[in-house]
Amino acid sequence: MRTPSYLHPNDKIGLVAPARKVSQDEIAHCLRTLEEWGLKPVLGENIYGEADQFSGTDEERTADFQQMLDDPEIKAILCARGGYGTLRIIDRLDFSNFVEKPKWIAGFSDATILHAHLNECLEIESIHSPMAINFKDDADTDNAIEAFRRVLFGESKGYEIGMHDLNRRGDASGILVGGNLSLLYALNGSVSDLNTDGKILFLEDLDEYLYHIDRMMQNLLRAGKLSNLAGLVVGGMTEMKDNKVPFGKTAEEIIRGVVDRFDYPVAFGFPAGHVKTNLALILGRKINFEVGLYTLITF
């Protein structure tokens, strides 16, 4: 895996909206924060565009992202928000210049499409992080934004979090991959589909029915994506939904049940995903992973 250059004061960072539309007010706090870090935000031409639920047509969103990929002065690209839409443009993007001189691409949720493509097809690291719309003025979010800054500037060495009742102890090392479970499920069979053998898989999700979680996990199991993992990290399983006839398990219990047949370390409750304290992770990076009294992730 190749590591893009870390950022320095006065570097330019591009902001694009490859998925759902976003307003100026929604990312104003982010722009101020990036400037406070000494960075120079550069906005995509169509970032405030609108085409149905998207921030512009597929062609417009592709053009914005392509411009940021090709501009040598842009040192990182931050997605403005998620939702849905990146899957529609990923195969339109030309990564030729990007591969010659990689830069950080950051975001989460719908940006899982980008992470998987970069990590699997291009063998380039990326940052699973808050997006522009997630920059807020409250303590929990401030911690997440500072964690992102530290990763972006090359200052972070990893995290230590508390134990969880469903954890399975053990130590492992391997390349960290993954992201949003629903998007990984949507990539099955595509050129961006992740090979998880020997990897440490990270999963998170939002607003899914519990039986959907089980169905997606059963799909990963049948596809062989869980049998040869080095480890599993489960982040936020947020705002899960149930039917009138209850499924009978939480999302975390569903996941633990599916991987009970294996013996690699598993950590639940990692603060990343659709949670306020969305700690930045370097995907594509070989990490050390220890699950005991605490969960340790070392970059």
25-83, pLDDT tens digit by residue? 999 999 999 999 999 999 999 999 999 999 999 999 999 999 999 999 999 999 999 99
Q: Tell me the pairing of strands 281-283 and 126-128.
A: antiparallel
- How does the average pLDDT of the chain come out, rounded? 97
| Mean pLDDT value across residues 151-167 | 96
Two tokens at 250?
């939480």
- pTM for this one? 0.97
DSSP E strands in the chain: the ranges are 12-16, 40-43, 74-79, 104-107, 126-128, 158-162, 170-180, 200-206, 231-238, 266-267, 281-283, 286-291, 294-298
Domains 12-152 and 158-298 share a fold: no
pLDDT digits (tens, 9 = 90+) for 66-125: 999 999 999 999 999 999 999 999 999 999 999 999 999 999 999 999 999 999 999 999
Asked whether residue 231 carries a pLDDT value surpassing 90, the answer given is: yes
Question: Mapped to the 3 state alphabet, what secondary structure does 82-102 carry?
Answer: CCCCHHHCHHHCCCHHHHHCC
Strand, coil or helix: 246:
coil
What is the structure's pLDDT at 137?
A: 84
CATH architecture, domain defined by 12-152: 3-Layer(aba) Sandwich (3.40)
Strand, coil or helix: 223:
coil
Asked whether residue 138 carries a pLDDT value surpassing 90, the answer given is: no
Asked whether residue 140 carries a pLDDT value surpassing 90, the answer given is: no
pLDDT digits (tens, 9 = 90+) for 174-203: 999 999 999 999 999 999 999 999 999 999
Q: Of 19, 271, 237, which is closest to residue 133 (Cα–Cα)?
A: 19
Give the right CATH number for 158-298 from 3.40.30.10, 3.40.50.720, 2.40.50.140, 3.50.30.60: 3.50.30.60
Domain boundaries, the chain: 12-152, 158-298
Interhelix angle for 210-222 vs 251-259, to 10°? 20
Q: Of 273, 261, 267, 269, which is closest to residue 287 (Cα–Cα)?
A: 267
